[in-house]
């Protein structure tokens, strides 16, 4: 039960403001989710490099030797940027596995939040305004971002229970609603070798997409499959390196508003979240249809592209 925001920019001139715009959207959704907040920001890619975002509950200790660990595992080109409880390690794309091994063996526990060419995920417990300021989201630039404020229903209020959930390289998902078959699905996905870190229903939704995409389905197809396999109430906003998707369950009684102008596509659980966006007064505003998949991709033709309905 939560607030979701998402912003997908079409106009490159807005990229410098991505963090500021989405931070405001996120804070506006505090009432819907005061327990924790998180955001995935898709920034600039460095050719040949990937970003690994890690998190620690004791960053002072855990990050002290992170630089050395990264260089040992991934070579001298590795860099580390620390932001509060999170750190972004940038390494050559072919050094992912040695780094993963090194992180797993680190003396202080570290959690990998995301891996990707452009995506960084920041999430923590606490009020959205605090989460946003701890990570300096307001100054970040990028192409698209997806954020979430959480009112925990059945699973614990923890960092890992916060959204977004990463579903694979440069992929993430946020969820509002409540799934009713996530326990059975989790058991099924575990048998397929997918690891879970929380009892959260949304992590199961994310893993379901991962499993489908691993089988060669694209994101739009995986979302369409989700309609058949997930039971309960859900609104998902998902991100890929170049794309931005929205899916609503067939009952569609949780709130969802979308806005589109020539400069962006935006999603909010409520209109309030969209009210600070430039040109919102003249945007096309609508509510996503039940059981329909919406998907926009920077690599595709400009403008929106609906894969399924």
Partner 1 sequence: MTYHNPPTPPRKSATFDDAALAEIRRAAATGIYDIRGGGTKRKVPHFDDLLFLGASMSRYPLEGYRERCDTAVTLGTRFAKKPIELKIPVTIAGMSFGALSGPAKEALGRGATLAGTSTTTGDGGMTNEERGHSELLVYQYLPSRYGMNPTDLRRADAIEVVVGQGAKPGGGGMLLGQKISDRVAEMRTLPKGIDQRSACRHPDWTGPDDLEIKILELREITDWEKPIYIKVGGARPYYDTALAVKAGADVVVLDGMQGGTAASQDVFIEHVGQPTLACIRPAVQALQDLGMHRKVQLVVSGGIRSGADVAKALALGADAVSVGTAALVAIGDNDPRWESEYNALGTTAGAYDDWHEGKDPAGITTQDPALAARLDPIAASRRLANYLKVITLEAQTIARACGHNHLHNLEPEDLVALTIEAAAMARVPLAGTDWIPGHKGL
Partner 2 sequence: MPAFDLSTTSIRALNEALHGTGEPLKDRRFEVRNPRGSHAVAVGCRDQITVAVHGPVGYYCGGMNAAATITVHGSAGPGVGENMMSGSIVVEGDASQYAGATGRGGLLVIKGNAASRCGISMKGIDIVVGGSVGHMSAFMGQSGHLVVLGDAGDALGDSLYEAQLFVRGKVKSLGADCIEKEMRGKHHATLEQLLSKAGMRGADPSQFRRYGSARKLYTFNIDNADAY
The single residue among 48, 109, 279, 290 that binds partner 2, judged by CB under 8 A, is 290
Q: What is the CA radius of gyration of the chain?
A: 18
Q: With binding defined as CB under 8 A, does residue 271 bind partner 2? A: yes
| Binding region for partner 1 (CB under 8 A) out of 107-115, 121-129, 149-157, 199-207 | 149-157
Output the CA–CA distances (angstroms, integers) from residue 184 to 3, 55, 188, 191, in the order listed: 26, 29, 6, 11
Least separation in angstroms between CB 46 and partner 2? 38
- 224 contacts which partner out of partner 2, partner 1, none, CB within 5 to 8 A by kind? none
> Sign of dihedral through CA atoms 36, 171, 113, 8?
negative
- 233 contacts which partner out of partner 2, partner 1, none, CB within 5 to 8 A by kind? partner 1
d(CA 42, CA 18): 9
Output the CA–CA distances (angstroms, integers) from residue 260 to 41, 140, 180, 288, in the order listed: 19, 22, 32, 12
Select 170 or 203, whichever has its Cβ closest to partner 1. Answer: 203
Residues 6+ apart with CB under 8 A from 87: 53, 54, 55, 56, 59, 63, 66, 80, 81
Q: With binding defined as CB under 8 A, does residue 286 bind partner 2? A: yes
Q: With binding defined as CB under 8 A, does residue 285 bind partner 2? A: yes
Residues 6+ apart with CB under 8 A from 214: 168
Q: Which helix (H) or strand (E) holds 66?
A: helix 66-74
In the block, residue with structure tokens 């890690």 = 54
d(CA 83, CA 293): 35
* Binding-site string for partner 1 from residue 180 to residue 219, where x marks contact by CB under 8 A and - marks none: ----------------------------------------
Least separation in angstroms between CB 13 and partner 2? 24
Q: With binding defined as CB under 8 A, does residue 263 bind partner 2? A: no
Report the SS3 class of residue 282: helix
Q: Which helix (H) or strand (E) holds 85?
A: none
253 in active site: no
Among 1, 2, 177, 287, the one annotated catalytic: 2
| Binding region for partner 1 (CB under 8 A) out of 43-51, 112-120, 132-140, 250-258 | 250-258
What are the two backbone dihedrals, phi and then psi, of residue 301, each rounded to the nearest 5 degrees? -65, 155
The DSSP secondary-structure symbol of 161 reads T
| Binding region for partner 2 (CB under 8 A) out of 174-182, 191-199, 220-228, 248-256 | 248-256
- 3 contacts which partner out of partner 2, partner 1, none, CB within 5 to 8 A by kind? partner 1
The single residue among 270, 304, 307, 308 that binds partner 2, judged by CB under 8 A, is 270
Q: With binding defined as CB under 8 A, does residue 65 bind partner 1? A: no
Q: With binding defined as CB under 8 A, does residue 233 bind partner 1? A: yes
The single residue among 49, 77, 255, 307 that binds partner 1, judged by CB under 8 A, is 255
| Closest CA relative to residue 37, chosen from 154, 112, 122, 94 | 122
Residues annotated as part of the active site: 2
Site residues for partner 2 per CB under 8 A = 252-253, 255, 257, 270-276, 285-287, 289-290
Site residues for partner 1 per CB under 8 A = 1-3, 31-34, 151, 153-154, 176-178, 233, 253-255, 269
């Amino acid at each position: 039960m939560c607030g979701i925001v998402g912003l997908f920019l079409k106009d490159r001139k807005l990229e410098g403001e991505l963090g500021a715009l989405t931070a405001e959207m996120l804070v506006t959704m505090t009432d819907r989710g005061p327990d924790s907040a998180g955001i995935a920001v898709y920034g600039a890619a460095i050719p040949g490099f990937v970003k690994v975002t890690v998190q620690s509950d004791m960053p002072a200790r855990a990050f002290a030797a992170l630089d050395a660990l990264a260089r040992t595992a991934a070579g001298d080109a590795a860099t580390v940027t620390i932001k509060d409880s999170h750190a972004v390690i940038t390494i050559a794309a072919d050094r992912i596995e040695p780094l993963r091994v090194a992180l797993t063996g680190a003396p202080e526990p570290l959690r990998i939040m995301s891996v990707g060419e452009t995506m960084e995920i920041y999430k923590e417990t606490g009020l959205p305004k605090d989460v946003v300021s701890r990570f300096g989201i307001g100054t970040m630039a990028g192409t698209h971002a997806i954020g979430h404020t959480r009112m925990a229903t059945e699973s614990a209020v923890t960092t890992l229970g916060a959204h977004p959930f990463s579903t694979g390289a440069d992929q993430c998902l946020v969820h509002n609603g409540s799934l009713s078959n996530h326990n059975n699905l989790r058991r099924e996905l575990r048998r397929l070798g997918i690891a879970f870190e929380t009892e959260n229903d949304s992590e199961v939704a994310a893993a379901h997409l991962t499993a489908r995409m691993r089988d060669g389905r694209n994101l739009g197809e995986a979302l369409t499959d989700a309609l058949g396999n997930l039971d309960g109430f859900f609104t998902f906003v998902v991100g890929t390196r170049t794309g931005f998707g929205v899916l609503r369950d067939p009952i569609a009684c949780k709130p969802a508003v979308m806005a589109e102008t020539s400069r962006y596509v935006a999603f909010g659980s409520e209109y309030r979240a969209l009210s600070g966006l430039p040109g919102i007064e003249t945007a096309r505003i609508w509510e996503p249809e039940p059981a329909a998949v919406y998907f926009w991709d920077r690599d595709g033709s400009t403008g929106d592209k609906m894969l399924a309905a």
